[in-house]
A and B are shown apart, each in its own frame.
Chain A
Amino acid sequence: MVETTNTKKSGRKRAIITGGVLLGAGALVTAAAFTDFALLDLNGDGGFGGVENAYNIQVSTGQENTVPDVSTWVEANPNSEAVAPIEGADALIPGGAPIYVNLPVLNDSASMASTLDLVLHNVTATVETPEGAAIDIAAANEAYAKLIRFQVAQVDDASTVPTDWVTPTGLAFDTNGAVPSVALSDLDPSAGSIIVVKVWLEEGQTQAETNLANGGTVQVQARFDGESKN
């Protein structure tokens, strides 16, 4: 405990001293009381909360393999940040090899642990097929989105392909264009993880269904949600 001089209180001090004199004089004619006060300050200038204790989640767009590899963390809030280019993303074929995308995420809170959830959204822009085009682009995009699958892993080092996946099977977009939210492990204060997203195209149930995705594309947005832990 430290007693600190509070300059704001100096006026009050004078008032009390003066009051003491007046009370002493008044004691001759009336039964006045003595008064005293005491001031406590909890945790001094540090107080409670503050910017240094703010809760914050950050991500990297660099697809690094480990958290220490990350040179720049970004907020990606409220606007998303592009993770591009992703090697092999333009060459997925139904039933072919998957690609892996590393998404480093950091709990930038110095004092608060964090929950962590991941949702993948289909944010493909609506397009109109030009007259005379060889394929119906909107239909191709829709077919492509039906074939795409995702698996998610949370690792410290993504230099090798993960063996343990948070999602045991491939996740598909639902009718609202989102995969079910994936609950990831909590992050300690100032700690991060590499979230690996495995992406592949399944074959359609018919060749026609598969062929419909030819020429299609899908834009995927990964959204991390965290909550400070008490």
Chain B
Amino acid sequence: MNEQPTMAAQQQRVPRRAWATLGLLVGTAALLTAATVVERHSFDAVFTPGAEHDFNIQVDGSYDDSWTLERAQWHEGRPNTLTIEATPDGSGVPLPPGRVETFLLGVRNASPTLASTLTVELFDPDPLGAESDPTTGSRLELFDALHFTLSDGEHVIVSGSGAEALSGAWQAGLAPTEARLLTLTILLPESVTNDYNGAGTGVGIRFDGSSL
């Protein structure tokens, strides 16, 4: 969210600006002619939601399986994507077949008064399709081989292979200021073929909200 002036500040500012404009125009007219009385009103009206009506979806998360919403340091995740680091040196998370990696995520409706719908999409930030390593012939893209499960403790919101569309929605949405803890598991199935040895992928998550 960009910081916006409050509604109260706007209400004070608009009349002041209007009167100043009127005064200037009247003064100018008086210089041009004394025979004609000119009166013109001009208003600059700016409509912005006040702080109490800000609509804002925020996120945080961790690779630490003891992470809780109380430890969240909420981020906008827009326009700067929030990275949840999993390795100390920024290297890839090893994913041998059969291993499950778990991330805990938080999503919050930071709006003090506006409820929100909530949808989520898991996506590959840099899809490589069927590209293969020219030396080994192995595939480069791993996303399609992964299996994702996103749940909120009560419901499974997304469950499926990376080869499918991975999106889901919460029917109840988010109440004002409500935050939700989500668990995302990423599995490379045992059944994966050797073609995926050395393949890699990024994993992106997008939350969308709309005020109610």
Contact = CB atoms under 8 A, between A and B. Distances in A.
B82 A41 contact: yes
A148 interface: no
A27 B55 CA distance: 15
Contacts of A28: 47
A9 B61 CA distance: 21
B208 interface: yes
A24 B55 CA distance: 13
Given A37-B57, A38-B75, A48 B80 contact: no
Interface in B102-156: 103, 105, 107, 114, 125, 133, 138, 142, 146
Interface stretch (B12-20, B21-29, B33-41, B198-206): B198-206
A43 interface: yes
Contacts of A46: 86-87, 90-93
Contact of A36 (B55, B62, B142, B186): B55
A10 interface: yes
Contacts of B90: 43-46
B125 A43 contact: no
A47 interface: yes
A39 B125 CA distance: 11
Contacts of A52: 91-92
B180 interface: no
B96 interface: yes
Contacts of A12: 79
A49 interface: yes
Q: How large is the interface on B (under 10, 10 to 19, 20 to 34, 35 or more residues)?
A: 35 or more
A55 to B, nearest CB: 5
Interface string B186-200: 101000000011111
Interface in A1-30: 1-6, 9-10, 12-13, 16, 24, 27-28
Contact of A49 (B48, B103, B142): B142
Interface string B27-66: 0000000000000000000011100000111111111000
Nearest to B199: A49
Contacts of A51: 133, 198, 200
A228 interface: yes
A114 to B, nearest CB: 10
A223 to B, nearest CB: 16
Contacts of A5: 79-81
A9 B114 contact: no
Contact of B83 (A43, A55, A111, A230): A43
Nearest to B60: A1
Contact of B207 (A3, A37, A44, A230): A37
A211 to B, nearest CB: 47
B77 interface: yes
A160 B66 CA distance: 50
Interface of B: 1, 47-49, 55-63, 73, 75-87, 90-99, 101, 103, 105, 107, 114, 125, 133, 138, 142, 146, 184, 186, 188, 196-212
Interface of A: 1-6, 9-10, 12-13, 16, 24, 27-28, 33-56, 110-112, 228-230
Given A3-B80, A42-B204, A230-B99, 12 more contacts: A1-B75, A1-B82, A3-B81, A6-B81, A9-B79, A38-B75, A38-B76, A41-B83, A43-B63, A47-B201, A52-B92, A53-B95
Closest 7 interchain pairs by CB?
Answer: A38-B77, A50-B200, A54-B198, A111-B94, A34-B55, A50-B92, A3-B80
